[in-house]
Structure 1
């Protein structure tokens, strides 16, 4: 008798576990791929539930501060989730992020989405755990309802939940924007705008933005730009880019159309910058530099450790930005670009200050050495970070005749962003420098991480309660 479908699936799972993929038929492969997809969705749903439970275990009373997203470029903060969701102790977020191998900001989003779904989008939450809606789709809806401006009340979020759940989460970005706009109008949440059409709720939502993803730099020395602009502006920009790309080709460029369009966008930006800097009536040949680049360049691979298939590389002032030697040569050859090469500081020299205040030379050395905040998985550029004494400076040693336990010296300093500086100072998190630029962190629950220029590596996990780890030989 032929095996049943369940029996066949068990056989397929066993074959996959044994690595015998080549023996599977096309039907078995399709069934297996679908089963893996279902398992992935189920795991993501469980992760949301666990993240919400982690938040439950850490109410704000535990450290007297609620978790929030820091909005880049602004002084105010946004809540981790919408109205009606519980507050969360901010420092617990970092530990969840390190266990998952993601940044603290990404962990905040995970917890925020979980709380938003559980408390304000309960129908969608139920569908996620029933397997009817994948977690990623539900999280997209939660991200929108959390950050809508003006903010959605709990009742308004419930309306969005009912509408999205009715179609099992199958709603595109444009449809979701229109639904939110209708919700804002229905619940009278929009700020009065005398220029807006009162019958057109969509006008209350302004999706325009320009985002430069400066933390996501490709090894080819490129960076991604994302924008949502007015229709007329978009068409004007497209025409300008197309015209410049065509001009480049007419002048002999052999690059692809995409490459020429990308270069055209940069040309457009530099031309406008130069025009803005110049006095009215200035001849185009007398325009000031349209691009100014500050570079700390290390091109000896034995020193920087950075090599790519594209050729010799160094790093720009932002420690995350790889730059190719050919790029710098091209910039220096452009008469509209002003390139400043900073004197190179020896990163291997031990520098020491005499007070708690960190001298400019030592600060610069730490910034260049660490490149980013040295907390696990944090990518905030070191130039915007605090410089932390690993062992705190003691203000009372001179009066008491004791040696300084936390000197202002290279081996006792590290770059920490403000959040992770506070985390280190006011929570059980601890860290030490085990080699220049190499740090080992210990989380409150015993998890350990090594952070260096290559990224974050998890070290030996903590021992389970009552189970000692065997000795290594």
Structure 2
């Protein structure tokens, strides 16, 4: 299938070379910038069409083979957009995601947005492909209508579509939330009589939330959070942070006001009484009983260390599993010394020393080695931390081999194990996706359509595409 708009975009972006760009006039540069942006918008619109068509090719019926049966953990039909949109085969998102270089979750969202726009927001869909509304803005509307609570009926979504299309999609997040709230009110979706409430329908949508973006960790060891709270709660929180920040300054803190307010928010999350008493030299209460541990957050930090005589010398930097980010030793010291934190030091695991165990079960010592070696799910572009993943036998363990006197083809050995999140573990087990260990920590995947990817500690690399006329391999029967 050819995508002329995407091809034209590539030609536009790759048009003048670096030297030629330097020779362009200001007017030429502006024209090139406008053309590049137009090509980018058209390519994004065409990608939505591709995603919708990909869903068309993978309806729930595509899951079933000649014999109709259900196997626990097998693929199932997946609703990824609002009521009234087609269902799709669950695992189809993985291959589209890998060729785009995005996660399966991101591919699922892309397909969901495409189906939502095509089936429930057709006016906005038409404006995207007419070039009047950029794809990113339309996708923002689709994200809201898909996840509205309560869910929008097809008729309610059509009302939103008509209102948004009337202004060519130029609507901000606050206006969109208000529109959806009004839609919920008009269509009686919250269980109330639409004509009975004289107040603003916006009040029927509860926007309160607290979101901590713990998957996006800054190199300084910080994470971003956002919240929407009641006005009274917000004013109380503001007062509490201001008071604590002023207290920290009075106690000698030289940090900025913003840093002290951020630290104060962390203090609120811990046992404040125990923290304050410990800072003033008290480690037990009046009755002599030890104070409870103030901080109970579990972090997995890895810092290189060497022995110098009887002294252990730590490196200045390390790695924090949470967020897969660089860790400074000074940060670790401050976190551990800030409160009565319980610190556990585990033995060093030699990742170059293979380990094996009899039978199918994976002992903790082997699981720990796999977790430390792989760090994340080893499926192409997946970033789920390995500590929360399954440990998979890359070559299937044969439960009947010992009883029948045959060699075990899939031993419980670190050279035959890999970390896979539950979704990609099921994908590997029940579809034609296959992978092999090239060497410990390096994996090569082959998709049902013959695309190949290498996954190692540095990330994912797309290898050679399938050759001309190469079709997808036969899908085997479900495996254990």
TM-score bucket (shorter structure): 0.7 to 0.9
CA distance in 2: counterparts of 1:380 and 1:273, whole angstroms: 36
Displacement of 1:198: 5.9
> Greater CA deviation, 445-454 or 283-292?
283-292
Partner of 2:186: 186
1:56-95 pair list within 5 angstroms: 56-64=56-64, 65-66=75-76, 68=78, 79-95=79-95
Displacement of 1:272: 4.9
Query: Does the Cα contact within 8 Å between 2:321 and 2:385 map onto a contact in 1?
Result: no
Partner of 2:334: 330
- 1:159/1:15 Cα in 2 relative to 1: closer, same or farther (>3 Å)? closer
Partner of 2:29: 29
Q: Deviations over 1:45-76 (max 9, x none)?
A: 000011101111111111154454xxxxxxxx
Query: Does the Cα contact within 8 Å between 2:181 and 2:205 map onto a contact in 1?
Result: yes
TM-score, normalized by length of structure 1?
Answer: 0.85
TM-score, normalized by length of structure 2?
Answer: 0.83
Structure 2 stretches lacking a partner, 5+ long: 1-11, 65-74, 276-283, 307-314, 471-480
CA distance in 1: counterparts of 2:173 and 2:273, whole angstroms: 34
CA distance in 1: counterparts of 2:18 and 2:183, whole angstroms: 52
CA distance in 1: counterparts of 2:374 and 2:273, whole angstroms: 32
Displacement of 1:85: 0.7
Query: Does the Cα contact within 8 Å between 1:150 and 1:190 map onto a contact in 2?
Result: yes
Partner of 1:73: none
> Greater CA deviation, 341-350 or 412-421?
341-350
Query: Does the Cα contact within 8 Å between 1:313 and 1:324 map onto a contact in 2?
Result: yes
Structure 1 stretches lacking a partner, 5+ long: 1-11, 69-78, 276-280, 303-310, 467-473
CA distance in 1: counterparts of 2:296 and 2:202, whole angstroms: 40
1:58-457 pair list within 5 angstroms: 58-64=58-64, 65-66=75-76, 68=78, 79-192=79-192, 199-272=199-272, 287-300=291-304, 312-318=316-322, 320-457=324-461
Query: Does the Cα contact within 8 Å between 1:182 and 1:202 map onto a contact in 2?
Result: yes
Displacement of 1:124: 0.2
What RMSD over aligned residues (CA atoms) do the two structures have, in Å? 2.7
Q: Deviations over 1:395-421 (max 9, x none)?
A: 111222111000001111111111101
CA distance in 2: counterparts of 1:313 and 1:293, whole angstroms: 21
Displacement of 1:319: 6.8
> Greater CA deviation, 161-170 or 359-368?
359-368
Q: Deviations over 1:362-401 (max 9, x none)?
A: 1121122212111111111212211110011101112221
Displacement of 1:245: 2.5
Aligned length: 431
Query: Does the Cα contact within 8 Å between 2:271 and 2:295 map onto a contact in 1?
Result: no
- 1:273/1:408 Cα in 2 relative to 1: closer, same or farther (>3 Å)? farther
CA distance in 1: counterparts of 2:199 and 2:19, whole angstroms: 61
- 1:222/1:14 Cα in 2 relative to 1: closer, same or farther (>3 Å)? closer
CA distance in 1: counterparts of 2:387 and 2:318, whole angstroms: 17
